[in-house]
Amino acid sequence: MGKYISLFVAGLLFGLGLAVSGMTHASKVLGFLDVAGDWDPSLLLVLGGAVGVTVVAFRFILRRPAPVLEPGFKLPTAKDIDGPLVVGAAVFGIGWGISGYCPGPAIASLAAPNWETWVFLPAMLLGAFLHRASTLSPGDTAHTPKSEKGSSA
């Protein structure tokens, strides 16, 4: 139960940070991405704060033998940059640039939703479903995409 409480508190803290920084407002994010027009550099402070906390905290966290509420760390092992990674990153970036939303801020914006939230979230869920459906092996009931199982397909 403690694990779920900590996940809930971490999610609340993350959502609060997104709301305070303005990242739940698509116009704020689009203003940051508009470097050739009316650029709003204020989200650089958010980025700098996130990177700063991560650089300091990870030095201490990764010295531990395991997380507090898990048996071990689950760190990514893939180091290759392949076609699916590049295409996925491009689709994510294009979607973010068009809408001003990415998943975290979109979910956090449910606290004070607008019409864009109600358009973006179903589209995001549909995209996640289509990705899952397209990456599972035929007859596979597990939630591990075939690309993570070592399949060459």
Radius of gyration of the chain (CA): 18
Domain ranges of the chain: 2-139
102 C-beta neighbours (distance < 10 Å), count = 17
pTM for the model stands at 0.67
Tens of pLDDT along 78-131?
889 999 889 989 988 888 888 888 888 888 888 888 888 888 899 889 988 988
**pLDDT value of residue 21:** 86
| Helical H segments across 38-108, by residue range | 43-61, 83-99, 103-108
Tokens 């459906």 sit on residue: 133
CB-based burial, 103-136: b 16+ in 10 Å, e otherwise = bebbbbbeeeeeebbeebbeebeeeeeeeeeebb
Which one, of 61, 59, 79, lies nearest residue 70 by Cα?
Answer: 61
Q: What are φ and ψ of residue 9, in 5° steps?
A: -65, -40
Tens of pLDDT along 58-76?
899 989 999 888 899 888 8
